């Protein structure tokens, strides 16, 4: 009888301790509850910042990972204590402009005057995804697994404008323009590129994942995730437009040439072998 009573008391104490462990001192639940929402983000830059702060090193840029690619927002909705729906979204547009001074071919002064060549770049990055996540385990440490699918759309365009005109006195484009990027010259023979528009890239992917999540404070967690999936990307035809001096007419002609598209297919683990993340539930 004493053993039975001892066992019951011991079990009650453990149950009370576990229940207390799932609540903060202020009575706030540690774990997320049904109908809670969350926002997640990549924790590696935070960890890197404090690591660099301690060591005196300088932070470096890091490429995206499967869980949270660069500039992707991740949200979750708790259907119940062990099931969550999650979504990812990125809607990005960018543009930049770079000027370069070159010698004015018509200048008669000493030193010669300069004119400006300009390169303008713009791009679009859209990613949308969704999936389901299942939790297992008890207490603050939760294991989980799930699957998600996503689509993406990317495109970019670069335009060039030149300070020196092509004419009878200066018909050679290569002598009148700035080569902005030696690895990708904008000068082709005696013609010069005015626009380089890549084909739009459309991607679709399906990914399975598994991870762990530890709730270190009320409705705040840190975790790690690994994934494996398939990805298909197709890129349409692009277009390059160039201008050249026409000695016959004495004017400038413009020519457009299509660039070939491409496609790729892959089955692999996440880039950089996983992710470390922070989640906040509300």
Do 10 and 107 belong together in one domain?
Answer: no
Do 9 and 64 belong together in one domain?
Answer: no
Q: How far apart are CA 282 and CA 275, in angstroms?
A: 22
Do 5 and 55 belong together in one domain?
Answer: no
Please state the pTM of the whole predicted model: 0.73
Do 18 and 156 belong together in one domain?
Answer: no
Do 55 and 106 belong together in one domain?
Answer: yes
pLDDT in tens, 71-99: 678 899 999 999 999 999 989 999 999 99
Interior/surface letters 74-107, b for 16+ CB within 10 angstroms, e for the rest: bbbebeeeeebebebebeeeeeeeeeeebebbee
Angle, CA 98 vertex, CA 97 and CA 99 arms, to 5°: 125
Q: What's residue 212's pLDDT? A: 95
Q: Are 127 and 150 in contact (CB under 8 A)?
A: yes
Do 5 and 108 belong together in one domain?
Answer: no
Do 266 and 176 belong together in one domain?
Answer: yes
Do 125 and 262 belong together in one domain?
Answer: yes
Per residue, what are the HEC states of 174-233? Answer: HHCCCCCCCCCCCEECCEEEEEEECCCEEEEEEEEEEEEEEEEECCEEEEEEEEEEEEEE
Do 55 and 8 belong together in one domain?
Answer: no
Do 23 and 43 belong together in one domain?
Answer: no
Do 23 and 109 belong together in one domain?
Answer: no
Number of domains the chain is built from: 2
Mean pLDDT rounded to a whole number for the chain: 82
Instruction: Determine if the peptide bond prior to 111 is cis (ω within 30°).
Output: yes
**Which residue segment(s) compose the domain that 5 sits in?**
1-27
Q: How far apart are CA 176 and CA 166, in angstroms?
A: 8
Q: Are 72 and 120 in contact (CB under 8 A)?
A: no
pLDDT in tens, 44-68: 655 554 455 444 544 444 333 344 4
Do 88 and 125 belong together in one domain?
Answer: yes
């Amino acid at each position: 009888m004493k053993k039975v009573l001892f066992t019951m008391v011991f079990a009650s104490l453990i149950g009370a301790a576990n229940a207390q462990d799932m609540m903060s001192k202020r009575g706030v639940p540690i774990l997320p509850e049904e109908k809670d929402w969350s926002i997640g983000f990549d924790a590696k830059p935070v960890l890197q910042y404090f690591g660099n702060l301690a060591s005196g090193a300088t932070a470096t840029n890091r490429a995206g990972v499967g869980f949270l690619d660069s500039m992707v927002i991740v949200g979750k909705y708790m259907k119940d204590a062990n099931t969550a729906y999650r979504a990812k979204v990125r809607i990005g547009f960018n543009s930049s402009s770079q000027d370069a001074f070159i010698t004015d071919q018509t200048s008669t002064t000493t030193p010669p005057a300069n004119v400006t060549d300009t390169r303008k770049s713009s791009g679009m990055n859209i990613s949308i995804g969704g999936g389901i996540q299942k939790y297992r385990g008890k207490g603050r440490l939760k294991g989980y697994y799930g699957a998600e699918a996503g689509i993406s759309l990317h495109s970019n365009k670069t335009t060039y404008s030149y300070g020196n005109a092509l004419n009878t006195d200066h018909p050679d484009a290569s002598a009148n323009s700035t080569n902005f990027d030696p690895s990708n010259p904008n000068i082709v023979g005696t013609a010069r590129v005015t626009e380089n528009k890549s084909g739009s890239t459309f991607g679709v992917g399906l990914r399975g994942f598994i991870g762990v999540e530890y709730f270190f404070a009320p409705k705040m967690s840190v975790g790690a995730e690994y994934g494996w999936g398939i990805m298909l990307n197709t890129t349409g035809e692009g277009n390059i437009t160039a201008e050249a001096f026409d000695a016959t007419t004495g004017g400038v002609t413009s020519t457009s040439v299509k660039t070939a598209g491409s496609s790729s297919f892959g089955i692999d683990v996440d880039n950089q072998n996983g992710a470390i993340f922070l989640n906040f539930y509300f």
